[in-house]
Chain A
């Protein structure tokens, strides 16, 4: 029992340790870097092609191809939350919100002594007034018969860390809500056809997809710059009510809380295959880039790789203009799994595949690609993000400082004021300010006959 409790205490101490927390952050950063460098969400064949075989195997086995949703990634985030919580309760709260206690003034690097006229009681009053006037929160306490004066600046800002940590937790909660209750996906629809979002039954009838690409003259020649993509559709919601929708990039359509976005577009192609003049059935729908079909009764397959807007009539190669002027398609032939050749074919012109086969790309139909997402945690994530930002600003731009003041009777006449300062960010950050405060105090007490002022050590430079 005792041993168990000790183990828990040790664990909490470990988790609350800043170097431990930072090593978790470093692990998080490292995993994130892997995700940036290794393309995510591809199939095993992609990695086999892109990397040496042992590395490709490692990527797939260790989930590095889907790292952000891997147990390791989520586990590290969970550990960070635990570590942050442990630190918040065992370190941040006690350290950042400390009780008023006496200190050894001379042992604090930022300290000074000012000898002034007057008995300690009256000096204490004057000092309290001095700090209160300058916006310090002054409190007095007695410890063992000695009266101390404490002056705090931006005391409230000590809670900035708490705010930042809470913000992080709120973001984590919002993300979890999405994982638990949200959904997302993508679909594409040919002009004149319909698609249904499986999770909520919302139907999208695409009437027309249009794009605008303009030639722009630049220093290095003409470039074809996309200007607009727009889908005109009827979106039928869960209740069966149709709505006319114009969906553009940056202008999503909200269907009962599920947002539908313009994500991509492409050219679907109707292919026709003949053998010795006889039509052979191929796919039952126009093919999109990347799709293909098997040639019945053979081990051969044809994949539609890419749409070419303009075939240069002189060179017979793809031209720079992506708009369909003299369009064509690039097809890839396979024999079994092995690529057996590729060709660029103009639309409407048959391509001889050998053995009596002829392939024709007869026409293109524009299709529009959409993404959709239902995210009930979004508001929570947004709130968390702003709480986090507020926490950062409070933590970084408001410096909570505490002054400890002890007034004692001097050996001769008058009193000695001992003054020391601490901040939540060490001493160096407050040094200039402390020097100014001591100077101002010394000047304000000058009328009360200053005997001596011990200067604050300076960190000056010649620059």
Chain B
């Protein structure tokens, strides 16, 4: 690449990282302070970072003529860009700005780590010289990115559920029919609460609500977080984007494998690790159909699912060699 092109590449990369880091800080501040102006600043920063990253990937392709997703640098760049894009789509549709801090922070970390793998221009090895790379890789990366955003929501869910149990343990009185909220599921308790107290703003964290009403500042902050039910629905909706994408990713991977390696399924560590994540998220979906299992348990499965995704994405590349290490 000539120096001017390299400079364009560098500038876009720096803009992307800078936008994510500042956006993460601003949206974390929004998460803590709930100031609408912070959201109004943070979301455009996320947009700037995301656009800069897509532009950087596009520019690389245009300048070198080589599809940019043939190495970990390109793939991690796309991962952070798509994670931010999915966050933005959900933020616009479901008011998800509160997870912007962790999402942008993880995107910045992924992009920062990606730069350590940035070797500049590299032609693709024979196994990667296929039109399938343009189909399979973006789909799989988008699936990973969705699970990353879902993971952030799950962590906030678990945090709020944990805070609720702490407040309950502290002996905050549980109001009304929600007295049974320590039972099998917060979800069930919430419905009981809603059924007996229609017409008032319902909460599925009654201990936090009581402490907030009693003037506890932390509880007041916690009460302002979306309800557990809402976090659960958001997490479900994002995983419902990720799972079909992962399925399609596995299917297109199998189609490519048929062409490149002779069999659509070779039990290669990478494809098998993707299957492992697929099974975990399929289990999540099944658990989520049962009201008594929906909630903390499914949020934990989502967190576990993302750990398997990270294992599949980075762990397998680093620790285990196989066909996906692209050695011939």
Q: Please tell me if the beta carbons of B126 and A248 are within 8 angstroms of each other in the complex.
A: yes
* CB of A281 closer than 8 Å to a CB of B: no
Query: Would A25 and B240 be within 8 Å (CB), given that A228-B126, A385-B254 are in contact?
Result: no
A458 within 8 A of B: yes
Chain B residue nearest to A228 in the complex (CB): B126
Establish whether residues B328 and A463, one from each chain, have CB atoms under 8 Å apart when the complex forms: no
* Contact status B121-A216, CB under 8 Å: yes
Most chain A CB within 10 A, of B129, B237, B247, is at B247
Count A-B contacts at CB 8 Å: 187
Determine, out of B102-110, B161-169, B284-292, the stretch whose residues face the partner at the interface.
B284-292
Task: Name the A residues within 8 Å of B31 (CB-CB).
Answer: 463
**8 Å CB interface, B2-56 against A:** 31, 34
Q: Is the CB of B279 within 8 A of A29?
A: yes
CB pair A375 B120 closer than 8 Å? no
Query: A463's contact among B97, B201, B273, by CB below 8 Å, is which?
Result: B97
Quick one: closest B residue to A461, CB to CB? Answer: B226
B residues contacting the other copy or chain, number (CB 8 A): 77
Q: Which B residues between 248 and 302 are near A, CB-CB below 8 angstroms?
A: 248, 251, 254-255, 258-264, 267, 269, 272-273, 275-276, 279-280, 282-283, 285-291, 293-294
B309 to chain A, nearest CB (A): 13
- In the complex, how many angstroms separate the beta carbon of A207 from the nearest chain B beta carbon? 19
Which residues of B sit under 8 angstroms from A250, Cβ to Cβ? Answer: 126-127, 129-130, 132, 259-260
Give complex CA distance A32, B293 in Å.
24
B200 contacts the other chain (CB 8 A): yes
Cα separation A124 to B31 with both chains bound (whole Å): 47
Distance in Å from the Cβ of A117 to the closest Cβ of chain B? 23
Alpha-carbon distance A228/B122, docked complex (angstroms) = 14
Whole-angstrom CA separation of A360 from B87 in the bound complex = 64
A244 at the interface (CB under 8 A from B): no
Complex Cα–Cα for A225 and B125 (A): 7
Q: Which of A26, A228, A249 has the most CB of B within 10 A?
A: A249
Are B289 and A457 in contact, with the CB atoms below 8 A? no
A428-B123 contact in complex given A252-B262, A463-B224, C-beta closer than 8 Å: no
Which B189-211 residues have C-beta < 8 A from chain A? 191, 194-195, 197-202, 204
Name the residue of chain B whose CB is nearest to the CB of A174.
Answer: B264
User: What is the chain B residue whose CB lies nearest that of A381?
Assistant: B264
Residue A418 CB within 8 A of the other chain = no
| One of B123, B237, B291 near A227 (C-beta < 8 A) | B123
Whose C-beta in chain B lies nearest to the C-beta of A428?
B229
Determine whether B216 belongs to the interface, using a CB cutoff of 8 Å to chain A.
no
A146 to B134, CA, bound (A): 60
**A257 vs chain B, min Cβ distance (A):** 13
Is the Cβ of B199 less than 8 Å from the Cβ of A455?
yes
- Residues of A contacting B263 in the complex (Cβ-Cβ under 8 angstroms): 184, 371, 373, 375
Residues on B with beta carbons closer than 8 Å to the beta carbon of A227: 123, 125-126
Determine if A263 and B225 form an interchain contact, defined as CB atoms under 8 angstroms apart: no
Closest to B251 in A: A385
A259 within 8 A of B: yes
The residue that B276 contacts in the complex, of A32, A218, A248, A378, with Cβ under 8 A, is A32
Tell whether, in the assembled complex, residue B261 and residue A428 are in contact, meaning their CB atoms are under 8 Å apart. Answer: no
Name the residue of chain A whose CB is nearest to the CB of B282: A25
- CA–CA, A381 and B258, complex, Å: 12
- Whether B34 and A261, one on each chain, are in contact in the complex, defined by CB atoms closer than 8 angstroms, is no
Contact A386 B251 (CB under 8 A): yes
Contact status B260-A458, CB under 8 Å: no
Given contacts A248-B126, A249-B328, A381-B264, contact A22 B286 (CB under 8 A): yes
When the two chains form their complex, are residues B294 and A35 in contact, meaning their CB atoms are under 8 A apart? no
Indicate if the CB atoms of B224 and A461 lie closer than 8 Å. yes
**What are the residues of chain A within 8 A of B34 when measuring CB–CB?**
462-463
The one of A33, A107, A395, A458 in contact with B201, judged by C-beta atoms closer than 8 angstroms, is A458
Contact with B along A196-232 (1 / 0, CB 8 A): 0000000000000000001011111001011111000
B320 touches A32 (CB 8 A): no
Confirm or deny: B306 has a beta carbon within 8 angstroms of a beta carbon on chain A: no
Contact with B along A260-285 (1 / 0, CB 8 A): 11011100000000000000000000
Tell me the smallest distance from the CB of B3 to a CB of chain A, in Å.
Answer: 14
A442 CB, min distance to chain B CBs, angstroms: 14
| Contact, CB under 8 Å: A461 / B251 | no
Check if B316 is an interface residue, CB within 8 A of chain A: yes
What's the minimum C-beta distance from B92 to chain A, rounded to whole angstroms?
A: 14
Interface assignment of B176: CB less than 8 Å from any CB of chain A: no
Residues of B within 8 A of A135 (CB): none
- Docked-complex contact B224 and A36, CB < 8 angstroms: no
The one of A22, A252, A263 in contact with B283, judged by C-beta atoms closer than 8 angstroms, is A22
Closest 9 CB pairs of A and B: A462-B224, A261-B262, A396-B240, A371-B262, A218-B119, A249-B126, A461-B226, A428-B229, A29-B279
CB-defined A-B contacts under 8 Å, sample of 15? A22-B286, A35-B267, A36-B273, A68-B267, A109-B191, A184-B262, A218-B122, A226-B126, A227-B123, A259-B258, A264-B328, A378-B258, A425-B236, A458-B202, A461-B225
Given contacts A229-B126, A396-B244, A457-B202, 11 further A-B contacts (CB under 8 A): A29-B276, A36-B316, A37-B320, A39-B320, A109-B191, A373-B263, A392-B244, A429-B233, A459-B230, A463-B34, A463-B98
Residues of B within 8 A of A (CB): 31, 34, 95, 97-98, 118-123, 125-127, 129-130, 132, 187, 191, 194-195, 197-202, 204, 223-227, 229-230, 232-233, 236-237, 240, 243-244, 247-248, 251, 254-255, 258-264, 267, 269, 272-273, 275-276, 279-280, 282-283, 285-291, 293-294, 308, 316, 320, 328
| Residues of chain A at the chain B interface (Cβ within 8 Å) | 18-19, 21-22, 25-26, 28-29, 32-33, 35-37, 39-40, 68, 106-107, 109, 111, 184, 214, 216-220, 223, 225-229, 248-252, 259-261, 263-265, 371-373, 375, 378, 381-382, 385-386, 388-389, 392-393, 395-397, 424-429, 431, 454-455, 457-463
